[in-house]
Structure 1
C-alpha cells in the first residue's frame, strides 16, 4: 500500500497539499499561487500530474472568513488547472498527502489506472449548478385553485372564528405542506427529464444550502420553494441547457439560478475511494 495517505495529524514534517489531478501537457503553462499565496507546482508521473503546494500542517480555523478565503483559493487553483490542462479531477479542501514530491509521484504511479479512468470519464465535461425557486405564496394560491380540498380549507379558515379557525388552519397547513412536497418532487422529475437531453449526469442536491462550492450557494428562505441540481455536461451544451432554463424561468413566480462551468466537484470520486490513497 502507498505511503501517500491523507494526513491524520494537524502538523507534520513534510507534506503536499493536493488540489487536483490532471493529464499533463508539455505545452501547458501553469503559474498560480495557492492558499495563503503558497507557490503551486505540478508533480508528474507519465501523463498524470498532481497539482500541489508544500505544507507542514492542515488548514484549520474557527473563523468563517478565513475558511472562505481558503476555499476560494482552493477553487481558484483548480479553475486554473482546468484552463491549463482540461477537466481536472478535483480533490476536496484540506487534503494533504504526507511526504515529499517523491511520495506523491509514487501515489500517482500506484493509482494510475484508477486516476486515468476517472479523468477519462470526466474529460470534456463541466459541472453546472441549477436552482429553480418558486414563490411560496404564489404556489399556495395556484394549488388552492387546482385542489378542491385545499381551496375548501382555505375558505373555511378565512371565514371561521378564532377557535375553529385555528383548527382549520392546522388542517390547511398540513394539506398545503403535502401538496407543496408533491409539487416539488413532480417538478424535480420533470426538470431532470428535460435536462437529461444534454447532461451526461444529473444529481439532485439537498434542500439545505451547500457550502461545498463557494459562489454556488443558495440563500433560500421560507418564502421560496426550491429544487436544486448539479449536472455534468459538455461545454458546448451550455447554451442548450440555458434555453431549457429560460423556458422554466418564463413561468410566473419562478426564478432560475444557473452557475458554472465549474470543475466536476460533485461528480469526482473521493480520494479515499482510489487505491493507494488510504492507509
Structure 2
C-alpha cells in the first residue's frame, strides 16, 4: 500500500501522534518508518490525495504537533512513497543532509513577512513633492494641456518611482528583520505585495521579532499594510 509522507525527524523525536489524524477520506493511523538516525511520519493511503481543505488542514496539524516537540523537516503537501522500503531507502540515501538540516532548524520556526501598499495617496503625494518633473507634468495636465502623450508619460514616471521606492522599502525591511533570524529567504512578491520574506527565527528571538514588528509598523506609518504570520513549520528552509 502507498504511503503519504508528512515529515522527517530525528530517530529520538517523541512523535506524539495521538489524537490527530492524517489525510484521506478514511484516514489510516499515523505511524513512523525508521532508518538509522532518522524516521519519517507516514500514513497508509489507498486513494489519490488532492489539496482539499480537509487534507491540507490534516497535513498542517501533523507538522504543528511535531514542531511542538523538536526539530522537523516538513514535506510539502502531496508527497507519496510506494512503501516502507522506499521510505527507508530515501532516508538512508540522504541521511547526512537530513541530519544537517535538522540541526540547522532545531529550536526555530518560520515566519512570513509580507507588505503591500494599502493606500497609495500618501506615496503619490510624496512623489509629487519630491520630483519636479512629475509635479510639472501633473500641473500641465490639470491646467488643461491636451497633449495626448502627457498622461502616459506621467503614468510611466509615477509607476517607475513607486516601484523603486517599494523596492527600497522592501530591502530596508529585510535588512531590519534579518538580525532576528538564523536564515532568511526572499521570494518574488505576488499580487499587490512588494515584499515576500521568510525568516527562520530561533525560539529565543521570537519576542524580539514581535517587538520589532510593532516598532517598524509605527515607523513606516500609514499607507503600508505590513503582515506577519508565524510560528510556522519551516517549509522554506528544507533542502
Q: Tell me the TM-score normalized by structure 2.
A: 0.88
1:56 Cα deviation from its structure 2 partner = 3.2
Please state whether the residue corresponding to 2:222 is helix, strand or coil. Answer: coil
Please state whether the residue corresponding to 2:43 is helix, strand or coil. Answer: strand
- Using CA pairs below 8 Å that are at least 6 residues apart, which structure has the higher relative contact order? 1
Contact 2:73 2:238 in 1 (8 A): yes
Unaligned ranges ≥5, structure 2: none
Classify 1:122/1:253 alpha carbon distance in 2 versus 1 (closer, same or farther; 3 Å): same
Q: Tell me the TM-score normalized by structure 1.
A: 0.77
Match of 1:74 in 2: 59
Residues 213-263 of structure 1 deviation map (CA, whole Å, 9 limit, x = unaligned):
xxxxxxx4xxxx632211111122122222222222111222221100111
| Mapping 1:51-200, distance limit 5 Å | 51-60=41-50, 67-84=52-69, 86-99=70-83, 101-134=84-117, 135-161=119-145, 163-164=146-147, 166-200=148-182
The yes-or-no answer on 1:19 pairing with 2:6 is yes
Distance of 1:233 and 1:128 partners within structure 2: 7
Distance of 1:26 and 1:81 partners within structure 2: 8
1:111 Cα deviation from its structure 2 partner = 2.4
Distance of 1:49 and 1:170 partners within structure 2: 60
Aligned length: 233
Classify 1:107/1:207 alpha carbon distance in 2 versus 1 (closer, same or farther; 3 Å): closer
The yes-or-no answer on 1:48 pairing with 2:38 is yes
Contact 2:9 2:71 in 1 (8 A): yes
Residues 8-30 of structure 1 deviation map (CA, whole Å, 9 limit, x = unaligned):
xxxxxx21111110123365532
Distance of 1:174 and 1:259 partners within structure 2: 34
Cα-Cα RMSD: 2.0
Give the counterpart of 1:34 among 10, 22, 39: 22
Distance of 1:30 and 1:207 partners within structure 2: 35
Classify 1:157/1:25 alpha carbon distance in 2 versus 1 (closer, same or farther; 3 Å): same
Contact 1:17 1:97 in 2 (8 A): yes
Unaligned ranges ≥5, structure 1: 1-13, 61-65, 210-219, 270-279
